Structures are given as C-alpha cells and as structure tokens.
A and B are shown apart, each in its own frame.
Chain A
Amino acid sequence: MIKSELIVKIAELYPHLYQRDVETIVNQLLDEIGDAMGRGDRVELRGFGTFSVKQREARIGRNPRTGESVAVAKKHAPFFKTGKDLRDRMNRDGGR
C-alpha cells in the first residue's frame, strides 16, 4: 500500500470529508511524527509502535569498493520499534 491508496481508503470511510482534507491530515500526522523525532522526542503509539531517534557517533568508515577510509559525521538515525499488539497480530491473524 502506498500513501495515495491509504488516503483513498480513509476518504471512503469518512465520506463527509473531502479527499484533499484527508490528504492534509495524513501528511500533517507524518510531518508531526518527523518533527517530534527532529526535536529528539519519542512518538509512542500503543499497540502500533514507537518512533525514536538513535544517536550515531562520528566514525571512520570505509568505502567497501576501494577500501579507502572516509570520515562519517555524527548523525541522528530514526528508529521504529513495532508494538506488541501489531507484532502479535502480524503472526496470528494473517498466518505466516
């Protein structure tokens, strides 16, 4: 499923909303999750999962093709941990 398909589905469930409003809602939700991670906050959605940010220290990496050393700057990496409920349902309801 891609974002436009998600928007269409939700618009079908809320027939009194314009599809462009649903699009705004979905985009604002995703933007806020990203903004929260940018602020260093966690986004905890019980049953679904938790978005957080991990700090990666600067390190000396290597170009795997040439073997050359390259400096890799310190960075923040987004991270998602699946919620227990979703993890269980992915293995129960849908089969394997």
Chain B
Amino acid sequence: MAGKTVTRSDLSEIVYNAVGLSRSESAQIVETVLDEISDALIRGEDVKLSSFGSFLVRHKNGRMGRNPKTGEEVPIDPRRVLSFRASHVLKEKINKMAGLG
C-alpha cells in the first residue's frame, strides 16, 4: 500500500493539466464541484455519478442511546446520514490496480 494522501491541491493540478485553465480557476472549479454535490445532499437529494458511485441520504429515526462511560440514557435526535455506494466499475478498478483480479 502506498498510503499517500491526495488533497484538493492534487485535484486542482489534474484540472489544470486537463483543460488549460489558470491555477486559481482550476482550484475554484474543484471547489464548485464539491459544493454542488454537497448542496444537493443538503437538500436531501441522492447524487448518482455513473461509473463512480452514489451518495445516498439516509434518514435515521430518533432513539434512546446510552453514554457508555456513565451508563446514562441520552436521547438521540432523528438525523440524516450519508452513505456512499461505490459502483461496480470503481470496485473493479481498485481491485485491478491492487493486483487482486
């Protein structure tokens, strides 16, 4: 495993090399892509990106939880959580690149 961390600046570099925008505009468009995906999820919409995967908004009901340290009961409010389901294409790519079929 290589174990490096890829960040926004690496992604901007990809955009910079792809279509010949300025560095600052490349960084800005990476941000816009993430913002548009986030905004849809915040509105409660699922985001499906073919050959990559789906971000699904799931609704969790409220329930009584327990503080494991004190044993005290605490109410957990209903909330929305995000789950990511990778597409088959992405799963296959990752396994192929790792030399696992």
Residues of A within 8 A of B (CB): 1-3, 6, 9-10, 13-14, 17, 21, 24-26, 28-30, 32-49, 53, 73-80, 82, 86-87, 89-91, 93-94, 96
Q: Would you call B38 and A29 a contact (CB within 8 A)?
A: no
Inter-chain pairs besides A2-B50, A73-B101, A80-B82, 8 sampled, C-beta below 8 Å: A6-B49, A17-B21, A25-B29, A39-B4, A82-B82, A90-B41, A90-B80, A96-B59
Of chain A, the residue at the smallest CB distance from B79 is A91
Interface size on B, residues (CB 8 A): 58
Q: Would you call A1 and B18 a contact (CB within 8 A)?
A: no
Of chain B, the residue at the smallest CB distance from A4 is B50
Q: Would you call A53 and B33 a contact (CB within 8 A)?
A: no
Q: Would you call B33 and A6 a contact (CB within 8 A)?
A: yes
Residues of B within 8 A of A (CB): 1-8, 10-11, 14-15, 18-19, 21, 29-30, 32-34, 36-38, 40-53, 55, 57, 59, 77-82, 84, 86, 90-91, 93-98, 100-101
Complex CA–CA separation, A64 to B98 (angstroms): 29
Contact of B2 among A40, A43, A96 (CB under 8 A): A40
Q: Would you call A41 and B2 a contact (CB within 8 A)?
A: yes
Q: Would you call A40 and B80 a contact (CB within 8 A)?
A: no
Q: Would you call A78 and B6 a contact (CB within 8 A)?
A: no
Of chain A, the residue at the smallest CB distance from B96 is A38
Main secondary structure of the interface of B (DSSP, over half): mixed
Chain A to chain B contacts (Cβ below 8 Å), 11 pairs? A1-B36, A1-B37, A9-B36, A10-B36, A17-B21, A25-B18, A30-B49, A34-B94, A38-B97, A96-B79, A96-B80
Complex CA–CA separation, A50 to B100 (angstroms): 23
Of chain B, the residue at the smallest CB distance from A13 is B32
Q: Would you call B48 and A3 a contact (CB within 8 A)?
A: yes
